[in-house]
Amino acid sequence: MIVTTANSAFEPPNADSHEAEKNNFVEARRPNNDPRDQGQRGGKQARQNQPRRDKRDVHGWVVLDKPIGMTSTQAVAVVKRLFQAKRAGHAGTLDPLASGGLPIALGEATKTVPFVMDGRKRYRFTVAWGEERDTDDTEGRAVKTNELRPSAETIQELLPRFTGLIEQIPPQYSAIKVQGERAYDLARDGETVDLKPRPVEIHELTLVEQPDSSHSVFEAECGKGTYVRALARDIGRLLGCYGHICALRRTLVGPFGEKDMIPLEQLEALCDRAASGEGSLADALLPVETALDDIPALAVTRADAARLHRGQAVLLRGRDAPNSSGTVYVTVAGRLLALAEIGNGELIPKRVFNLNGLTASPARNNESV
């Protein structure tokens, strides 16, 4: 929904980001006598001798088709390096053994991450029957086994019990904090953690195919906080045959679907072409406001935009003034300006955007309309 009060242009003044930059990438530690450090004055000194690339302001979303074997933190670090971006973060962890959509926010897009994380997610996953593992996926060790194999009809009968608002106990190997420590760290130390059931919502759960008696393929659409690994574990327990995830792919995160995903190899190739002047990294970016797809937009005048940019509230008046309340994203001349709240006849800015730097190309902006 777009409510227009004016269409005059407004360019906010240049502003450098004052937010502390977070380095999300944890490098693997090497022993002091690693042969890769031979002939150098230590690994740290070698890195200091390398030329430093200047970081820049980059604003937008990259929806990486994350490959299997890469952690979400590593994926953020790679994309941040490719764009030489000052700030980056992701909107929802994806396990190393999983592939698919990992939305990565660059620059001012990091301010919209909660709107993506709160959105629905869709997964396609394969369950291997006959073993329950301590990690609930192929990385763990078997803790329960059974020779029983379920029929498609038996599985179908159970699915309604896992649809809607349900209680779910997270996996032992999860990022949930227990007395200040991550559950997976405690589990790796051999501790059994008493994790409490949590309410999660599963909007849709479908048996897609059963390629053989030991494997079943599902699709699930679920809300924030749902663990697909726990879903496979609990279905296996009810069936009496046990089970664990052996393949997992995320196909939807909030407004981002498979059509928005870009494989890492393709992104690296685009970066190489851009470095040689044959393309632009802007072609890989989606606009910051793509994350705000479900939020009404409100266009304002140049004068009102200037007030909002200074953090001042704006009175809403006139016949075109919206009579609703709640969160809106504010634009001026089609350019994202702020996230704001409407209440008591006022527009109150909550987050102001400074989109000076590299942003999505005009073609990608048109795709998001």
Paired tokens of 177: 């904090």
Q: Which of 252, 292, 231 is nearest to 102 (CA)?
A: 252
Paired tokens of 302: 């140049």
Which is it for strands 177-178 and 215-222: parallel, antiparallel or unpaired? unpaired
* Tally of CB atoms within 10 A around 349: 19
DSSP state of 277: T
Sequence-distant contacts of 78-83: CB under 8 A, at least 24 apart? 78/264, 79/104, 79/106, 79/267, 80/24, 80/25, 80/106, 82/267, 82/268, 82/271, 82/281, 83/56, 83/58, 83/271, 83/281, 83/358
Calculate the alpha carbon distances from 146 to 50, 162, 169, 232, 242 in Å.
55, 22, 22, 15, 7
Q: Where are the beta strands (DSSP E) in 108-163?
A: 121-129, 131-133, 142-145
**Active-site choice (95, 137, 260, 304):** 95
CA distance 165 to 263: 34
CA distance 336 to 349: 13
CA distance 362 to 232: 43
At residue 132, the 3 state secondary structure works out as strand
Q: How many residues does the chain have?
A: 369
Specify burial of residue 277 (Cβ count, 10 A radius: 0-12, 13-18, 19+): exposed
CA distance 232 to 149: 14
65 is an active site residue: no
Report, as residue numbers or ranges, the catalytic residues: 95
